Amino acid sequence: MTTSAPSITSSSNILRDQFVSAMSRVPLSVAVVVAGAPDERVALTVGTFISVSADPPMVLVAVKSSNPLCKAVASHRRFAINVLSAEQVEHSERFSGRPRTGQPYDLTAARWAGGPGELHRYLEGAVAAFDCELVEARTIASHVLLIGRVEDIVSGAEQPLVYWSRSYGIPSPLISSG
Ligand SMILES: Cc1cc2nc3c(=O)[nH]c(=O)nc-3n(C[C@H](O)[C@H](O)[C@H](O)COP(=O)(O)O)c2cc1C
């Protein structure tokens, strides 16, 4: 009887599955990124929003390179990040392309407020919105890392939406760190 070593393909598939499973245990904030000309806005739900620096304020999101949002950001060099509140699951589903009702990615299904110089950048009812100038767009594997310098901030709702273990939830404090 002969035994063969696992192929590189099957071991990389196993690692990929382990990665996806492990990452599902990591809680994410949920944000809707908006970019493009006022009459051609595109929006996408992301869980990869992080702060990069406070001096100056800079943030990062990772977006699949085939998504139209990447082209809109590259053309206009601006994007706004709206961090969703616990009441905004519907927006997360709509802008990830799987709304329970209505059309996917339909910006008219949400209420927007103006940002500096341009209307319809900020999602009403979000926890916070960050208007950014693009500093760098770097393609890594299947995604583009969009790094933005924050130029305007709006703070709103108190309770953020969390995505964890393939479900939506809300953060529940255990102890205060100060
Ligand atoms: C909670 C959540 C977080 C997501 N995070 C990201 C993300 O960080 N980057 C990204 O490109 N897509 C992210 N997606 C997926 C997109 O919203 C969208 O569903 C996907 O790009 C659609 O791809 P398709 O057109 O190939 O089906 C996320 C979706 C959800 C529901």
Q: Is residue 54 part of a domain?
A: yes
Ligand 1 atom closest to Cα of residue 69: 11
How far does residue 47's CA lie from ligand 1's centre (Å)? Answer: 8
How far does residue 48's CA lie from ligand 1's centre (Å)? Answer: 10
d(CA 30, CA 88): 9
Please state whether the predicted TM-score (pTM) of the whole model is above 0.75.
yes
Q: Is residue 61 part of a domain?
A: yes
Q: Is residue 40 part of a domain?
A: yes
User: Counting beta carbons within 10 angstroms of the beta carbon of residue 118, is it exposed (0 to 12), middle (13 to 18) or buried (19 or more)?
Assistant: middle
Cβ contacts of residue 94 below 8 Å, gap of 6+?
102, 104, 105, 106, 109, 110
Q: Is residue 75 part of a domain?
A: yes
Q: Is residue 172 part of a domain?
A: no
d(CA 136, CA 149): 9
How far does residue 96's CA lie from ligand 1's centre (Å)? Answer: 5
54-68 residue pLDDT tens: 999 999 999 999 999
Distances (CA, A) of 91 to 3, 120, 142: 51, 15, 24
pLDDT for 18 equals 97
67-118 residue pLDDT tens: 999 999 999 999 999 999 999 999 999 999 999 999 999 999 999 987 666 6
Computed over every residue of the chain, the mean pLDDT equals: 93
Yes or no: say if 143 and 64 are a contact pair by the CB < 8 Å rule: yes
Smallest CA separation from ligand 1 atom 4, residue? 46
Yes or no: say if 63 and 144 are a contact pair by the CB < 8 Å rule: yes
Print the domain residue range for 152.
Answer: 26-167
As given in the structure block, the two tokens for residue 161 are: 């939406």
Smallest CA separation from ligand 1 atom 17, residue? 96
Tell me how many domains the chain contains.
Answer: 1
Q: Which residues line ligand 1 (CB under 6 A)?
A: 30, 44-48, 62-64, 67, 92, 96-97, 163
Q: Is residue 20 part of a domain?
A: no
Q: Is residue 10 part of a domain?
A: no
More confident position, 150 or 7:
150
pLDDT for 3 equals 58
Give the CATH number for residue 42. Answer: 2.30.110.10
pLDDT for 34 equals 96
Q: Is residue 89 part of a domain?
A: yes
Q: Model confidence at 144, in pLDDT bands (50, 70, 90)?
A: very high
Residue length, the chain?
A: 178
